[in-house]
Amino acid sequence: MIEGFRLGIFSRGTTLWDGLDFAFGDAAAWLVAGPPSSGKTLLLSTLRGERRPDAGDVVVSGESLYRGNAARARAWRASCGHVPEQTVADARLTVGDLFRRSALAGGGVRESERKDRAERLLEMVGLPGASEWRIAELSISERVRACLAAELLRGPKVLFCDGVVAGAGIPWREMLWGLFRALAREGNTVVLAERTIPERWALAAGDAEPVGPFRVFRLPVPGAVKGEHG
Amino acid sequence: MSGPPSLWWIDWRLSRAALVRETIGRFLFFCLLGSALLSLFLSGGGSRFLAGRYAITAVLRAEVPSAEAEGLARKVAALPPVRSAAYRDPEAAWKEFLRAYPGLDPLRGAGGNPMPGYIEIRIRPDRLTGADVGLVASTLRSVPHVEQVLAGEAWLPRLLRAGRVASWVCWGIFGAFLAGFFLVGRLQERARAVALAGDFSFLAERGVPAGRLAFYRAAAAAVSGFLLAAAGTAAGGGALFLFLGNDPFLEGVIGPPSDLLLPRTVAAAVLFSCASALLSAAASLHGWRAARSGRK
């Protein structure tokens, strides 16, 4: 369970939001929708333990991320996967490099196993044989899917995705819908931050919980018991 | 996959091509530096060269029998600063004189061999100091069989000082090359840290502390620095061994090839490798810090 208590963020000389409560249950897929510049990326950074909130606290499995044991906070971050909003920072790398450093972050894995799993993951996200492709030569959609596949290589318990659904594009929504729900069904937690939720997803998710400038949806997971959220 | 990531050789895992280039360059540099170190260590700067050309001559009295003169030479050879002491009887001395000054044979016809016997004493290169030369000379002067001791004591201090200065200059140049290695290494480490900044921030976002990254990078740099320095010194020493075996002049200046295998020479090479490891680690840490402060 990832909980945010009375979270507040001050940015660009102003209060972006304050006093927000969140609760993301385990083994579920969550989508936080919010308008541009509402602080979705900051929220994900705060939940991952990257950015200390200016007010409030984040608690993971009963332990404060920012006021608790630093080693446990690091362990939490190590257990998280993160697909950021796409930038050109990694443009010099190849898709294979993304998998190599993801494997490095995840601990020991044999090279042959990494390559084998990378190929299967790339095939799953519609990029078969893309290992040698340079990031600079990929479209935004391809970058998003390559980064997502690289994060999945480590099998993170919690996956944070920033703008992945919008970035991947409409043709890949069904794949992502199935993927996120499958991850949740296997006991993982997925937190998505998007400007809007695809219409079909919203219909399936039902009513959203309004939290400050955000709307929090819990995506239906086949065979799972519905939990609570903020 | 689980457990904390192993950060050993992380640069190698992230950027092999650049590291291979740097490693080859460092190995070649260590070959040169290692052979320079061994040459300097064995030659003692200019000590061995000077010691090869300097000799103390103890001129013996005319009536000293050969057996006693040889016994005296053996006693002198046993003195700690002495490398060798050889007795030349009057006949050998006369022949040497004639070789040096041909055409003076008639001098002998008048009253027999005018040359006395003498003992030629060579000092060990590492003991060629004013104090040790003075010790040998004063010991010889106290022997009744010795008529005169020629030790060049008037000009020896100036020569030894010049030798010391030459030695300092040589070691200074060697130190400058080591400092150059550190600066170039620091630049390389910094460039690599900048190039891999994206990977390092990726790892930091996933719970890998920056301090741990820096530590493991420096530790890997130290280990590779030690191994490269040891391998480079061994290769440079091997080349030196071949050169010394084939060039008598070099052997006279630096020393015999067998000295390369002496325990103290090996110990010097190990110390040099340890110093290189420390310098490599320091260059890595400095490069890392410079890259991070440059990013801010």
* A101 → chain B, closest CA residue: B199
Mark B281-291 as b/e (b = at least 16 C-beta within 10 Å): bbbbbbbbebb
Residue B3 has pLDDT above 60, yes or no: no
Q: What angle, rounded to 10 degrees, do the helices at B156-195 and B130-141 form? A: 150
* B213 → chain A, closest CA residue: A105
List the alpha helices (DSSP H) in B78-196.
90-100, 106-111, 130-141, 156-195
Residue B4 has pLDDT above 80, yes or no: no
Residue A187 has pLDDT above 70, yes or no: yes
When the pLDDT of each residue in chain A is averaged and rounded to a whole number, the result is: 88
Would you state the pLDDT for residue B75?
A: 92
pLDDT band for position B114 (50/70/90)? Answer: confident
Test mutation, B192, B202, B206, B213, chain A, max A CBs within 10 A: B206
Would you state the pLDDT for residue A3?
A: 92
Would you state the pLDDT for residue B2?
A: 47
Smallest Cβ–Cβ distance between A107 and the set B2, B13, B209 belongs to B2
Q: What is the mean pLDDT of the segment spanning B98-111?
A: 74
The rounded distance, in Å, linking the Cα atoms of A57 and A60 is 10
- The CATH number that applies at residue A16 is 3.40.50.300
Mark B208-244 as b/e (b = at least 16 C-beta within 10 Å): beeeebbbbbbbbbbebbbbbbbebbbbbbeebbeeb
Number of domains comprising chain A: 1
B205 contacts on A by Cβ (under 8 Å): 48, 50, 77, 82
Question: How many other C-beta atoms are found inside a 10 Å radius of the C-beta of residue B19?
Answer: 18
Asked, for residue A227, whether it belongs to a domain, the answer is no
Asked, for residue A228, whether it belongs to a domain, the answer is no
Domain that holds residue A28: 2-219
Q: Where are the domains of chain B?
A: 10-46+159-295, 55-127
Asked, for residue A226, whether it belongs to a domain, the answer is no
Q: What is the mean pLDDT of the segment spanning B111-122?
A: 84
ipTM: 0.75
- The reply to whether residue A106 touches residue B1, judged by beta carbons under 8 angstroms, is yes
Would you state the pLDDT for residue B110?
A: 63
Taking the Cβ of residue A175 and every Cβ of chain B, the question of whether any pair is shorter than 8 Å is answered with no
Smallest Cβ–Cβ distance between B208 and the set A93, A103, A105 belongs to A105
The rounded distance, in Å, linking the Cα atoms of B83 and B125 is 8
When the pLDDT of each residue in chain B is averaged and rounded to a whole number, the result is: 88
Class for the domain spanning B55-127? alpha beta
Sign of the CA dihedral A94, A99, A100, A102?
Answer: positive
Residue B254 has pLDDT above 60, yes or no: yes
pLDDT band for position A230 (50/70/90)? Answer: very low
B208 contacts on A by Cβ (under 8 Å): 74, 78, 105
The rounded distance, in Å, linking the Cα atoms of B197 and B210 is 11
Per-residue pLDDT of B192-214, as tens digits, reads 888 888 888 888 888 888 888 89
Across A85-94, B14-23, B64-73, B121-130, least confident range: A85-94
Q: How many CA atoms lie within 13 A of A37 on its CB side?
A: 4
B16 contacts on A by Cβ (under 8 Å): none
Q: What is each CA distance from B229 to B217, B269, B271, in whole angstroms?
A: 18, 9, 10
Most confident of A165-174, B222-231, B282-291: B222-231
Smallest Cβ–Cβ distance between B205 and the set A82, A89, A93 belongs to A82
Residue A229 has pLDDT above 50, yes or no: no
pLDDT band for position A122 (50/70/90)? Answer: very high
Would you state the pLDDT for residue A87?
A: 65
Per-residue pLDDT of B216-249, as tens digits, reads 999 999 999 999 999 999 999 999 999 998 888 8
Residue B94 has pLDDT above 60, yes or no: yes
Would you state the pLDDT for residue B199?
A: 84
pLDDT band for position B178 (50/70/90)? Answer: very high
Per-residue pLDDT of B41-75, as tens digits, reads 998 877 888 888 899 999 988 888 888 889 999 99
